């Protein structure tokens, strides 16, 4: 990634944003942002699952990024797979039967969704 260099690189932590398109450091007040649908976006905060926060140095770069994500298909099974992975990591070691029930409880997914997510992940691992 590129940096704009100069004074931007010397700013205190937390006062700068990194443009997701070009890598330029931008003062927080000058950065532009947008949330877009993205089935690969699963974070520690479940309320933001399926949404990616884009940050850019200018509207032109933001529109380029948004266009990419709007053309990317939203695959529910991909989202569910990420949620399952997060839940397994949070739950820690459990036996298989207990893990299955707890993962469904934590994620809110039903058995069909769980199986579809596992099948999707298996298909990705093979390709």
> pLDDT for 98-114, tens place per residue?
888 999 999 999 999 99
Q: Is 71 exposed, middle or buried (0-12, 13-18, 19+ CB in 10 A)?
A: exposed
37 and 69 Cβ atoms separated by less than 8 Å: yes
What pLDDT, on a 0 to 100 scale, did the predictor assign at position 121?
93
Identify the segments of the chain with pLDDT beneath 50. 1-11
What pLDDT, on a 0 to 100 scale, did the predictor assign at position 14?
62
Torsion angles phi and psi, residue 34, rounded to 5? -160, 140
What pLDDT, on a 0 to 100 scale, did the predictor assign at position 50?
97
What pLDDT, on a 0 to 100 scale, did the predictor assign at position 12?
54
What pTM was computed for the model?
Answer: 0.79
What pLDDT, on a 0 to 100 scale, did the predictor assign at position 99?
86
Please state, in angstroms and as integers, the Cα–Cα distance from residue 36 to each residue in 10, 50, 51, 75, 84, following that order: 30, 8, 5, 14, 21
């Amino acid at each position: 990634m590129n940096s704009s260099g100069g004074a931007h690189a010397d700013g205190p932590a937390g006062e700068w944003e990194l443009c997701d398109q070009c890598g330029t450091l931008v003062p927080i007040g000058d950065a532009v942002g947008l949330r877009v649908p993205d089935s690969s976006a699963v974070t520690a905060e479940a309320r933001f699952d399926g949404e990616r926060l884009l940050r850019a140095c200018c509207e032109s770069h933001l529109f380029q990024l948004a266009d990419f994500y709007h053309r990317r298909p939203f695959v529910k099974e991909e989202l569910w797979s990420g949620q399952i992975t997060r839940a397994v990591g949070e739950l820690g070691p459990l036996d298989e039967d207990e893990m299955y029930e707890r993962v469904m409880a934590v994620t809110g997914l039903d058995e069909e969704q769980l199986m579809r997510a596992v099948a999707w992940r298996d298909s990705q691992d093979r390709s």
